[in-house]
Structure 1
Amino acid sequence: MWRTCLLLLLLVQLSSPVEARRARSGRTQPRRTQQQAPAARERVEGPESFPLDFTAVESNMDSFMVQIKNLAQSLYPCSAQKLEQDMKLHFTKNASATCNDGSPAGYYIKESKGSRRWLLFLEGGWYCFNKQTCDRRYETTRNLMSSAKWPQTRRGRGILSPQPEENPHWWNANIVFIPYCSSDVWSGAAPKTNQSDYAFMGSLIIKEVLNELLTKGLQNAKVLLLAGSSAGGTGVLLNVDQVAEHLESEGHRGVQVRGLVDSGWFLDNQQYKVTDCLDTISCAPTEAIKKGIRFWDGLVPESCRQAHVGEEWNCFFGYKIYPTLKRPVFVVQWLFDEAQLTVDNIHLTGHLVHEGQWRYIQNLGQELRSTLGGVQALFAPACLSHELLTRSTWMDIQVKGTSLPRALHCWDRSLQNKLHINSSHVHQKHKTTPTRGCPLHLIDSCPWPHCNPSCPTIRDQLTGQEMSVVQFLKHMGFDVKKMAQQQGMDPRTLLGMLSDGS
């Protein structure tokens, strides 16, 4: 039935003189930006508000047909079928790649048959590094170690959303979510045996999922974006080159593999308060990874291994592995990452932060900013938060007036332009040439948490009440009078600047 609707709608749309002229002349309809969307919804109500991107006619007719299908099913009752919005669970057929407890690994997928773009997302969720920490993890967060109770479907948010209003550039891609159940930062290659209680097979799970996706259309892909948040973001750094090399070894050299790292750029810095390495929360990242890499039989990219022979744990830290990678990587990183502060033993529990902690937090932002200096494609807001890609509000955060979806679109365009220029090169390097008015290296320069006015809403951890930026900074121990004196200005002037994010 819906095919009949599609044909009718296609004739209606392409018979429109205005739209037909635009499609033939190559003039495109601009997407609704974040700022334009509310106004557009106020002006136009009903079926006519559904956006059609006629650039798809020129570059990808299948993608255009997907949009027509969406339009048909939103306008006409003659199609009884509902577009499938959720990702569906599939367990891997190869039983040798398992979760920690030996249950089958798997993935969720929402296919977009006409698209040659694929987004594979690695879930995050800390790790465990010995029997004691893994036993505790199995008791408290079993879904991160076992697939026994995974739901049959998942609804994507943020960059995984199938809605163009929430995900303007990737909504109609083939979207794959790989649940994290290996507790090894996606690096392990150790099966469960009679002598070991747990398997650690993160790197092998990724490979098995790739093998199955090659039977579902991945072999015809133009672009594969390997993305992940937190431990999944670090997993992207550890696996993006291996994913590309695996596809090449299977004969699929035409797939452009890229990485997108969200909140996975951790530092091997000195903790604020040094404690014994007894659990995953208080253990210094260097000590935890040193223990874990042996426990997991962890794998790192060969280029990074050669750069750190005997100290492969260095490859779990972004600023050390990034220079060794061959494929282009985009880094999304809060300058005041809550997970980093937690492992550094700065716990923001609703109590006032004293001066020593405040200085440590500011220094952390400066230290993180310095390690990101060489990253070509970057989005780094000065906010206190953790993870961004899968938030439904991910379009709201801006750095220097540019949102993350816009920055990712600019990165995509720069890589396409580079490919046209250097089409004879097999590997793409990190260095990209930004399009005019399309920035790639976006990092806040203001020095304290939440000095960016677009940062996520702050709530008091005790009362749950929203806090203004000024209230938050005072709560954090920010001394307005002292800071104003240091800056040579009136305290009221500084308060005004803080309130508007200057």
Structure 2
Amino acid sequence: MLLLGVVLLVLVREGSEVFGRSVGGHLSDEFAIDVTKLADSEALMTQVHMKDLAEAVHACGSMGFTDMKLHKLRNTSVTCNDGSPAGYYLRRSHGSKRWLLFLEGGWYCFDQASCRNRWANMPRNLMSSKGWPDRKKGSGILSPDPEENPYWWNANTVYVPYCSSDVWSGASPRRDKDDFAFMGALILQEVLRELLPLGLQNSKTLLLSGSSAGGTGVILNVDRAAELLRREGSTVQVQGVADSGWFLDNKQYMPTECTETLSCAPTEAIRRGIQWWNGQVPERCARQYSKDEQWRCFFGYRAYPTLQAPLFVIQWLFDEAQMMVNNVGTPVDKEQWNYIHNLGVDLRKTLANVTGVFAPACLAHTLITKSDWMTVRMKGVSLPSALHCWEQSLLWGRAEPQDPPTCDSQLVDSCPWPHCNPTCPKLHNPFTGEEMDFIPLMMELVGIDMNAIAEQMGMDPDELVRMLTS
């Protein structure tokens, strides 16, 4: 089986353009392969089932064949916060014309005090490359396993570690040895330049993706990345995927002084940070604001209408990071529940005109690189299927006239409370570690009043409990 796996891995890498297509004119959750484009296809299909292929590829992966390998940037003037060289992890897929580039997340710092605190208390690899391992495994959309990642497992995969603390926006070099550099935007540009001669130059698509601060980084950089590649003579189609990076610039539930990252209002943190980082925002968005107001372009719903590159948005309606910076706290009274409910309503409104979106009503943060990213569903559609549908619709829009894809890539939950979608990720009781649904957990921990919530919603309390726990 292992020898078969090695042979198949080579075959698949060389013939990767036959994978990830529609079956019978319809998009499918199943892995699609056009066997007519493979030599001796009849013999192949009598011997190999896709499950066997997945197991074989997984076996090869366990030997390290599918790990991503670290490359430090050749341009050593583009650095992490501490002046160490930035870099990227790469897994080549020889023969593939598809590239997937992922921007890591990890909050930010916005002034001298918050950056010193980050250096002292956060994992050092978020500000320095000195401890980065030589190899990295991928999960979710970064996985090389076709069962875990049915549509992008055989793409050329790039993981760019986050070490600039600037939401991938900075263009500020280190001024002295006691200072910090903020060069996130420049790091991405250098990575793209190094990938061009490795096959990106003549590829078909680049999926620029990221989670959390990396998701916001996609929004900030997708147009700039497309323009850079165009100037370099590449015709690659750049598409963005922003996971958990679509934040609101609304008022905090409990306003606090801006002294640390996790409690500072996003508006104030970004207002300070954009100056500290020499932050770069999308050019067309910047034109809409004065120099002092360009920080607003960090918020997806403001930048999205100005973007030229296609963008797919993945966003929990009740994002844990948004709840944290808004200082909501554990909901114990009606005012907090109202605030949380309105947070979901407001976020849903900002997504109304987004053509590619996956927004479940869950209390969570990030999804695209989770191994179980296929389990959350809306209308029976998983995130990989919605994202693949969106990609196919873009291809359809650029191709000769034909029937459009018969699938859904615009999915936003309509239920009004956290975890009212039964496929939401499980929460855990902090005392017992037991998996629990949201409402029973809140009833046990803080004794929420379901009667009051039901009255507010105009529902019978038993009906409400059934809706939220079914």
TM-score range, shorter-chain basis?
A: 0.7 to 0.9
Question: Counterparts of 2:316 and 2:53 in 1: how far apart (Å)?
Answer: 41
Give 1:422 deviation, angstroms: 8.4
Give 1:236 deviation, angstroms: 0.2
2:411 is the counterpart of 1:411 = no
Match of 2:111 among 130, 138, 150: 130
Matched letter for residue 292 of structure 1: G
SS of the equivalent of 1:307 reads: coil
Deviations 1:369-410 (A, max 9, x none): 111111111000000000001110100001121100000111
The residue aligned with 1:445 is: 414
Question: Counterparts of 2:195 and 2:337 in 1: how far apart (Å)?
Answer: 47
The residue aligned with 2:15 is: none
Give 1:56 deviation, angstroms: 7.7
Question: Counterparts of 1:206 and 1:56 in 2: how far apart (Å)?
Answer: 38
Give 1:194 deviation, angstroms: 2.5
Match of 2:369 among 362, 369, 390: 390
Give 1:27 deviation, angstroms: 7.1
Unpaired runs of at least 5, structure 1: 11-22, 35-50, 424-432
Matched letter for residue 270 of structure 2: I
Q: Using the TM superposition, name which of 302-311 and 258-267 deviates more.
A: 302-311
Kindly indicate whether the alpha-carbon contact (under 8 Å) linking 1:450 and 1:469 is maintained by their aligned counterparts in 2: yes
Give 1:263 deviation, angstroms: 0.3
The residue aligned with 1:41 is: none
The residue aligned with 2:334 is: 355
Give 1:156 deviation, angstroms: 0.3
Q: Using the TM superposition, name which of 214-223 and 472-481 deviates more.
A: 472-481
Name the % identity: 53
Written as runs of structure 1 = structure 2, the 5 A alignment for 1:257-272 is 257-272=238-253
Give 1:186 deviation, angstroms: 0.4
The residue aligned with 2:14 is: none
SS of the equivalent of 2:399 reads: helix
SS of the equivalent of 1:120 reads: strand
SS of the equivalent of 2:312 reads: strand
Question: Counterparts of 1:27 and 1:138 in 2: how far apart (Å)?
Answer: 50
**Structure 1 residues 486, 191: CA separation in 2 closer, same or farther (over 3 Å shift)?**
closer
**Structure 1 residues 362, 70: CA separation in 2 closer, same or farther (over 3 Å shift)?**
closer
Deviations 1:325-376 (A, max 9, x none): 000000000000000011011234xxx6222212111111111111111111
Question: Counterparts of 1:286 and 1:449 in 2: how far apart (Å)?
Answer: 24
Match of 1:346 among 328, 333, 337: 328
**Structure 1 residues 347, 152: CA separation in 2 closer, same or farther (over 3 Å shift)?**
farther
Deviations 1:125-150 (A, max 9, x none): 01011111111111122110000000
Kindly indicate whether the alpha-carbon contact (under 8 Å) linking 2:27 and 2:389 is maintained by their aligned counterparts in 1: no
Question: Counterparts of 1:482 and 1:159 in 2: how far apart (Å)?
Answer: 41
2:156 is the counterpart of 1:174 = yes
Written as runs of structure 1 = structure 2, the 5 A alignment for 1:77-96 is 82=63, 84-96=65-77
2:130 is the counterpart of 1:148 = yes
SS of the equivalent of 2:422 reads: coil
Matched letter for residue 296 of structure 1: W
SS of the equivalent of 1:118 reads: strand
2:451 is the counterpart of 1:470 = no
The residue aligned with 1:57 is: 37
Give 1:55 deviation, angstroms: 5.7
Match of 1:116 among 85, 97, 100: 97
**How many aligned positions are there?**
447
Kindly indicate whether the alpha-carbon contact (under 8 Å) linking 1:70 and 1:83 is maintained by their aligned counterparts in 2: no
**Structure 1 residues 5, 237: CA separation in 2 closer, same or farther (over 3 Å shift)?**
closer
The residue aligned with 1:298 is: 279
Root-mean-square deviation (Å): 3.3
Written as runs of structure 1 = structure 2, the 5 A alignment for 1:476-491 is 478-486=448-456, 489-491=459-461
The residue aligned with 1:497 is: 467
Question: Counterparts of 2:267 and 2:384 in 1: how far apart (Å)?
Answer: 33
Written as runs of structure 1 = structure 2, the 5 A alignment for 1:17-56 is 33=29, 53-54=33-34
**Structure 1 residues 398, 476: CA separation in 2 closer, same or farther (over 3 Å shift)?**
farther
Kindly indicate whether the alpha-carbon contact (under 8 Å) linking 2:26 and 2:405 is maintained by their aligned counterparts in 1: no
Question: Counterparts of 2:156 and 2:389 in 1: how far apart (Å)?
Answer: 20
Q: Using the TM superposition, name which of 218-227 and 354-363 deviates more.
A: 354-363
The residue aligned with 1:38 is: none
Match of 1:199 among 181, 203, 215: 181
**Structure 1 residues 439, 81: CA separation in 2 closer, same or farther (over 3 Å shift)?**
closer
Query: What's the TM-score, normalizing by structure 2?
Result: 0.87
